[in-house]
Amino acid sequence: MQGSGRSVVTIGVFDGVHRGHQRVAGRAVAAARELGLRCVAVTFEPHPAEVVRPGSHPARLTSPRRRAELLTGLGVDEVYTVEFSLELSRLSPADFAQSVLADRLRAAVVVVGEGFRFGHRAAGEVETLRALGEKYDFTVEEVPLLDAVSSTVVRERLVAGDVEGAALDLGRPHRVQGVVVRGYQRGRQLGFPTANVETLAHTAIPADGVYAGWLECVPVANLPALYEGERWPAAISVGTNPTFEGVPRTVEAYALDRDDLELYGAHVAVEFKARLRGNTRFDSIEALIEQIHADVADTRRLTSG
């Protein structure tokens, strides 16, 4: 069947590519290998909720680029991103199955998660898809969900600062990505220069506090990456820094023992290992510096090995 142009397709928003998503995508990849076909993951951008209910965009666990990287890392051959629009949202289940699955992707097998819904007002169910498969010559596999693992639950954990629980659901540490921009440079003045990360809109950022984790430079298409491939243990601050007034909410990361990095303009990822403490207003700069030393020591212990 190799070369027939047909494919095994899996469909979903896949925000976070958490362990439940991994199970669905993994089954699709396995089916594609069994049949000698390519595996295609269909996903949507922007998030359907933002189009159907403007202003309701959920916090984003993964950027479109990161989502594609994670899916291809699971063995998916192609990530087909469909532009989600009001017009698309109004397609009936039958029209979606014909235009996307049959005509564009020539699906032989469609793999979806348990309880999958599609089409206008989510009218289509898995049994609807199976019936349409008989008409358009594809079969359907429904993969059971993992209990209590969902993008919504991961977002809730991050809002609570539970980055360790989020990592268990994701199967890896949660990360945020962005460009390093100039901040107030107070960390440098205190002896702990930080990368001030400007994140993408709607990024799921953990609750305000101090975290242990990592800072990594990531390549971007057609642009050289500074310190490409390098990754450092990092003490991370999220919040408004209550010791200093008038500071907007930021994500800042201090790469341990590195005061020589020139990261302005670099694209970086910040990964969260564990929450060390909440944000505190200190009565003096000396007390703040003493606490930062303790945070660095805790970070070193948690990220070693």
Give the pLDDT band (50/70/90) at residue 56. confident
> What is the rounded distance in angstroms from the CA atom of residue 305 to the CA atom of residue 302?
8
Mean pLDDT lowest among 84-98, 216-230, 248-262: 216-230
For residue 110, what are the β-bridge partners? 9, 140
What pLDDT digit, counting tens, does each position of 205-218 carry?
Answer: 999 999 999 999 98
> What is the rounded distance in angstroms from the CA atom of residue 224 to the CA atom of residue 117?
41
pLDDT, residue 3, reads 41
pLDDT, residue 53, reads 87
pLDDT, residue 219, reads 79
Stretch 182-196: mean pLDDT, rounded?
A: 78
Q: Buried b / exposed e across 102-117, counting CB within 10 Å, b at 16+? A: beebbbbbbbbbeebe
Report residue 102 as tokens: 């049959």
Percentage of residues in the chain with pLDDT exceeding 90?
Answer: 73
Mean pLDDT lowest among 18-27, 49-58, 119-128, 174-183: 49-58
pLDDT, residue 2, reads 41
What pLDDT digit, counting tens, does each position of 158-178 carry?
Answer: 999 999 999 999 999 999 999
- Report the DSSP pairing between strands 107-113 and 139-143: parallel
Q: Is 139 helix (H, G, I), strand (E, B) or coil?
A: strand
What pLDDT digit, counting tens, does each position of 257-305 carry?
Answer: 998 888 988 899 999 999 999 988 888 889 999 999 999 999 999 999 7
Query: Which residues 6+ apart lie within 8 Å of 65 measured at CB?
Result: none
According to DSSP, residue 220 is labeled B
57-66, 102-111, 239-248, range with greatest mean pLDDT? 102-111
pLDDT, residue 296, reads 97
pLDDT, residue 245, reads 59
Does the pLDDT value for residue 223 go beyond 60?
A: no
pTM here is 0.90
Percentage of residues in the chain with pLDDT exceeding 70?
Answer: 92
pLDDT, residue 188, reads 66
Give the pLDDT band (50/70/90) at residue 103. very high
Query: Which residues 6+ apart lie within 8 Å of 228 measured at CB?
Result: 217, 219
Sign, CA dihedral 199-201-202-208, equals positive
Report residue 217 as tokens: 């430079």
Average pLDDT, the chain: 91
Does the pLDDT value for residue 187 go beyond 80?
A: no
Does the pLDDT value for residue 204 go beyond 60?
A: yes
pLDDT, residue 206, reads 97
Residue 120: its H or E element: none
